[in-house]
Amino acid sequence: MAFHFRALGLVLALVGIGQLRAQPLDTLYNRTKGLSVEALIEREREETDPRAKVMVIARLTGQYLFLSRPEDCMRSAMHGLEVADPTGNDSLIGRAHFGIGAAFTVLSDVNGALKHFNIALEHYQHTGDSLGMGWVCKEIAVVYQRVGDIEGTLRYLRKAQSYGLSQGIYGRSMSMLAKCYMERGDLDSALYFAREADGMKVPGTDPYGYANFQLTLAVVHAARAEEDLAEPYFKRALAVADSFQLPEPLIGASAGYTKLLIGQGRAAEALACARKGFEATEGMRQPLVMVRSTTALSNAFAANGMTDSALVYSKLAHAYRDSVTALQNKGQLQNQLFAQELKDREDAKLKEEAAAERANNIQFGIIALIVITLGIFLLVFSRTAVVGAKAIKNLSLIALLLFFEFINLLVHPLLGALTHHSPLLLLLCMAAIAGLLIPLHHRMEHWITNMLVSKNNRVRLEAARRTIEELEARPNEATNP
C-alpha cells in the first residue's frame, strides 16, 4: 500500500512538472504580476524550471526599468540570458536579449540596444511569434525616438503594427505616435493617437502605462491650449505615479502640471507640485530628468517671488546640464564594460561549442581509424581472401590521413597556446608531425604488404594443391568422353 502511495505521488509530481512546462510563457509571466523587487528576487532563487525562471527575471528586469535603476536592469537582463541560453529555446533566448536591449536603451547605448533587439527579433522570427516581433519593433522605435529620429520611429511603429500588438503594447505605441506628431506640430493627429492610447480605464494592471497615457493626453491638450481638459489628466497621472512609486512619470507629470499652473497664475499650487516632482528624483542618476525637475522648481519659485531659491535651482539645473556630458562619458564606459562582459560570454559559449565539436570529431576519427585498421587486418589475416597490394596501399594511405587528422585534433589546442596561433609555427609543427608519421607509415605498409604477399602465395598454393588433388582423384574423367 505504501508503495502505491509513493508511486501515485511520483506520478502526480511528474504531471505537475509537465503542466508547468506546458504552460505558455505569458501565463508564467503573468503569475509574477504585482510582486515587489524583493519578492521577485526570492521567487527567482526558488524557481528550478528554466522557463519560469526566465519569466521571473524578465519581470524583475522590467521592474528595475520602471524604477529607473538601469545598472540593476542590465545585470538582471544578463542573468536572464545566462539562464535562457543553455535551453536552446528561441522564445526564452529572444526574451532575454529583449531585456538586454531595453537595458541598453535606458543606458542610452543605441548600438547595444539595436544589436540585442535585432537578435531578439531573429529568435522570435524562428518561432513565428508575431506578437513578439511586433513588441521588439516597438522597442526599436523607442530607440529611434530617444535619438530624435522621428521618421525612423514612425517606420518601426508601422512595422510593429503590421506584425500585431497586444493590448498594452498597442496603447504605448499609440502614445509614441502622439508624441511623434506633437514634435511634427500636427496637434490634431497627436490628439487622435493620444485618445487611441487611452484604452486603460484602471491603473491596476499596468500603472506605468496608465500614468504615461494620462500624461500624453495632458501634454497634447496643454499644447492645444485646452487647459481645462489637460488638468484632469495631469492630476490622474500624478496620482497613479505617486501611488505606485513610479519616479519618471511622476517627474514628467509634475513638470508639465507646474508649467500649466504657473500659466494660470496659481503659483502656490505650482510650487507644491514642483516640490513633489523634485522629491521623486531622490536616488535617480539620469541628468536629463533632473534638469526637467530642477527647472520646474526654479520656475515655480520665481513665480512665487522667491528669487533666491529660484536662482539656486536654476544654477542646479545648469549644473545638471553641464554634468550630462560627464555622466554620458561615464555611462559609455559602463556600457562598454557591459558590452565586454556580454562579448566574453559569447566567446566562452563559442569555445564550449568548438570544444564539443572537437570532441565529436575526435570520436568520429577514432571510429574511422578502427574501421579502416580492422578492415586492413581482416584482409591480411583472412584465410581465403586474396587482395592486391594496391588495395592495401590505398587503404593504408586513408588510414594515414585519418591518423594525421586525429593527432591534429588532439594537439591543436596545445600547439595553438604554445605558438600563440602563429600560422607559420603551426605549419612547421604539423610538418614535423607529418615527417614522423610518413616513415612510420612506409614501414607499416612494407610490413603489411610482405605479410599480404606471403598470405596470398599461401592461399594460391593451397588452392592449387586442392585442384591437383581433385584432378588426381578423378583420373578417368580427362580420357573418357
Q: Return left, alpha or beta for 407; rule: phi > 0 is left, psi -120 to 50 is alpha, else beta.
A: alpha
From CA 110, how far away is CA 97, in angstroms rounded? 14
Q: Are 215 and 178 in contact (CB under 8 A)?
A: no
Q: Are 141 and 153 in contact (CB under 8 A)?
A: yes
Q: Are 164 and 179 in contact (CB under 8 A)?
A: no
Tens digits of per-residue pLDDT, 312-339?
A: 878 777 776 666 555 455 555 455 555 6
pLDDT of residue 10: 43
Among 137, 87, 91, 142, residue whose Cα is nearest residue 117: 137
Tens digits of per-residue pLDDT, 165-221?
A: 887 788 788 888 888 888 888 999 989 888 887 666 667 677 887 888 889 899 999
All three cell numbers of 32: 509574477
Tens digits of per-residue pLDDT, 404-450?
A: 666 666 666 666 667 666 777 766 777 777 677 677 666 666 666 66
Tens digits of per-residue pLDDT, 228-249?
A: 999 999 999 999 888 888 888 8
Catalogue the long-range contacts made by 7-11 (C-beta closer than 8 Å, 24 or more residues apart): none
Mean of pLDDT values over 223-227: 91
Fold of 22-165: 1.25.40
Please compute, for residue 453, the number of CA atoms within 13 A of its CA located in the half-sphere on the CB side: 8
Q: Where are the alpha helices (DSSP H) in 33-146?
A: 37-46, 50-66, 70-84, 90-106, 110-127, 130-146
Within 8 A by CB and 6+ apart from 139, the residues are 98, 101, 102, 105, 113, 117
Give the pLDDT band (50/70/90) at residue 8: very low
- Higher local confidence (pLDDT), 230 or 371: 230
All three cell numbers of 402: 585519418
Length of the chain: 481
**φ and ψ at 16, to 5 degrees?**
-60, -45
Mean of pLDDT values over 306-313: 84
- Higher local confidence (pLDDT), 11 or 315: 315
From CA 56, how far away is CA 35, in angstroms rounded? 10
